[in-house]
Amino acid sequence: MTAVLYRRFGLKHIEIAEDIVSDTFATASANWVANGIPENPVAWLYTVAKNKARDCLKHLNVVENHQKESNPDDHEDGINDLEFTRQHISDSQLAMIFAVCNPGISPEAQICLALQVLCGFSVEVIANAFLAKTETIKKRLQRARAELRRDNFQISVLTKSEIMRRMDTVLKTLYLLFNEGYFSKTSDKQVQKELCLEAIRLILLLTENALTNTPQANALLALFCFQSSRLDARVNNKGEAITYEQQDRKLWDKALTEKGNYYLVEACNGNETSKYHLEAAIAYWHTTPADTNKWQHILQLYNQLVIIERSPVALLNRIFALAKVNGHAPAIAETEKLNMIENSHYHELLGYLYTATDPAQAVVHYDKAILLTKSSAEKKTLQKEIQQLRLKRPE
């Protein structure tokens, strides 16, 4: 809904489009409580949004008529553009993603703006995605919006070269959208399946377009498919996380795994090896529990990945694979060298690694992880680990 309105209003009136969407849902909240949920809630919402947009466009035209001569029927033409069909919504979302990813602003600001205006992410969620302070993200978003307004930003058809210049940022945006669904740091639910499915839907649109059907796009789609194949096994009925070793493999989606295999092969058409290729290959090995050498393959892939992107997540995941191959003692030494004392995953990994040899030290690190994480679901999982460790202590 927001994307379609942006396409009509442009970012010159970005707050107007956002207000229309907010007002639409506020109207729904009041109306549905009094009259019950309509037979087709989605159609109801789109109709209300379209009517609100019509009133707004009339008002804008009245204002503009005082400044310049204009056609009184302009607002009706604008309303005709507001078609909430499946195709129009998809086209609008992709058009907005590429439009917001404007090389005129920094890549970080592009991604922040896309996550906020198109994915509905709060400042806090974006800050967690970038491992940044909320005030930093607020300022980044303000500067990005101001820059687009100064350029009188409008959504227009992009050339092939313009699309390619923006492709990396678009893929990074979808990657972060999926990650928030796969492992949320701010939601009460650790897994938000709807965000994962939305990211898959959007990246699938890219692979279906000749201009954007690149090896990186296919690799990212393969990664999403492999990771999504295990979504139903990652949480129990109470919403608690289930570790990889404890997952019920009968719940893994074989159809999604096969899709992942298909798109990973498609991603290999060329000589490019991106971070998405490596992460997709790692995810592939996670879907093959029968292979006795899989952790050696995963470790080798992580060794390559940390050369391309030395992120905290990649470094810690590499050490987890190292523990599987060489044992916990060398993994503990590698982890403590990183000294990421403000990172919850750092302490969570050390808690896991110390569990067998020093349960008391494991509890210390799990406690620190609980203090650092903002995810209530993750806190519950860590508290459960602590309880199990205390039950194993000798009297």
Q: Which tens digit of pLDDT belongs to each residue from 8-49?
A: 666 566 678 888 989 999 999 999 999 999 999 988 998 998
Q: What is the mean pLDDT of the chain?
A: 85
Please provide the DSSP assignment of 296-308 as one string.
HHHHHHHHHHHHH
Indicate if 222 and 316 belong to the same structural domain: no
Q: Are residues 300 and 264 in the same domain?
A: no
Are 344 and 281 in the same domain?
A: no
237: number of CA atoms within 13 Å, CB side?
0
Residue at 145 is within a domain: no
Query: Which of 229, 115, 111, 92 lies closest to 180 in space, CA to CA?
Result: 115
Residue 62 lies in a domain: no
Last residue of a domain, one of 290, 308, 342: 290
Residue 226 CA to residue 208 CA, distance in Å, equals 19
Sequential DSSP letters for 82-117: ----HHHHHHHHHHHHHHHS-TTS-HHHHHHHHHHH
Distance CA 13, CA 197 (A): 29
pLDDT tier at 72, thresholds 50, 70, 90? very low
394, 302: one domain: yes
Report the pLDDT value the prediction gives residue 25, as an integer from 0 to 100: 94
Q: What is the mean pLDDT of residues 200-205?
A: 91
Distance CA 374, CA 357 (A): 28
Q: Are residues 263 and 320 in the same domain?
A: no
Instruction: Tell me if 123 is assigned to some domain.
Output: no
Q: Do residues 273 and 315 share a domain?
A: no
Final residue in a domain of this structure, among 267, 290, 313: 290
Tally Cβ neighbours within 10 Å of residue 212. 21
233 in Cβ contact with 249 (< 8 Å): yes
Q: Is the dihedral of CA 336, 341, 343, 349 positive or negative?
A: positive
The residue type found at 205 is: L
Q: Where are the alpha helices (DSSP H) in the chain?
A: 2-9, 14-35, 41-65, 74-81, 86-100, 107-117, 123-130, 134-150, 160-182, 193-207, 215-228, 254-267, 275-286, 294-308, 312-326, 328-338, 344-354, 359-372, 376-392
Mean pLDDT throughout 146-154? 67
Distance CA 165, CA 344 (A): 35
- Please state the φ and ψ torsions of residue 235, each to the nearest 5 degrees: -135, 150
13 CB neighbour count, 10 Å cutoff:
18
Please report which confidence band the pLDDT of residue 88 belongs to, taking 50, 70 and 90 as the band edges: low
Instruction: State percent of the chain over pLDDT 70.
Output: 85
Task: State residue 194's pLDDT score.
Answer: 86
235 shares a domain with 262: yes
293 forms beta bridges with none
Looking at residue 75, its pLDDT comes to 45
Report the range of poorest mean pLDDT among 32-46, 96-110, 200-214.
Answer: 96-110
Residue 10 within a domain:
no
Same-domain check for residues 301 and 256: no
Domain-terminating residue out of 272, 290, 308: 290
Residue 210 domain flag:
no
Q: How many domains does the chain have?
A: 2
Tokens 């044992």 sit on residue:
327
Closest residue by Cα to residue 197 from 178, 219, 216: 178
Q: Is the predicted pLDDT of residue 339 greater than 90, yes or no?
A: yes
The verdict on 268 and 300 lying in the same domain is no
Question: Do 307 and 284 have their domain in common?
Answer: no
Closest by CA to 205, choosing from 87, 30, 39, 354, is 87
Lowest mean pLDDT among 41-45, 60-64, 139-143, 147-151: 60-64
Same domain, 382 and 309: yes
Residue 183, pLDDT score = 84
10, 55 in Cβ contact below 8 A?
Answer: no
Residues 315 and 276 in one domain: no
Kindly state whether residue 122 falls inside one of the protein's structural domains.
Answer: no
Q: What is the pLDDT of residues 344-356, one digit of tens each?
A: 999 999 999 999 8
Domain presence at residue 279: yes
Which residues are CB-contacts of 378 (< 8 A; sequence separation ≥ 6)? 185, 190, 241, 344, 369
What is the reported pLDDT for 82?
A: 61
pLDDT, tens digit, for every residue of 369-380?
A: 999 988 888 888
Asked whether the predicted pLDDT for residue 319 surpasses 90, the reply is: yes
Does residue 310 fall inside a structural domain? yes
Residue of 366 and 61 predicted with greater confidence: 366
pLDDT for position 335: 97
Tens-place pLDDT, residues 49-69:
888 888 887 777 665 555 555
- The residue range of the domain holding 366 is 295-395
Once rounded to an integer, what is the mean pLDDT over residues 338-344?
95
The CATH number given to whatever domain includes residue 385 is: 1.25.40.10
Looking at residue 97, its pLDDT comes to 78
Tell me the mean pLDDT in the region 265-270.
Answer: 92
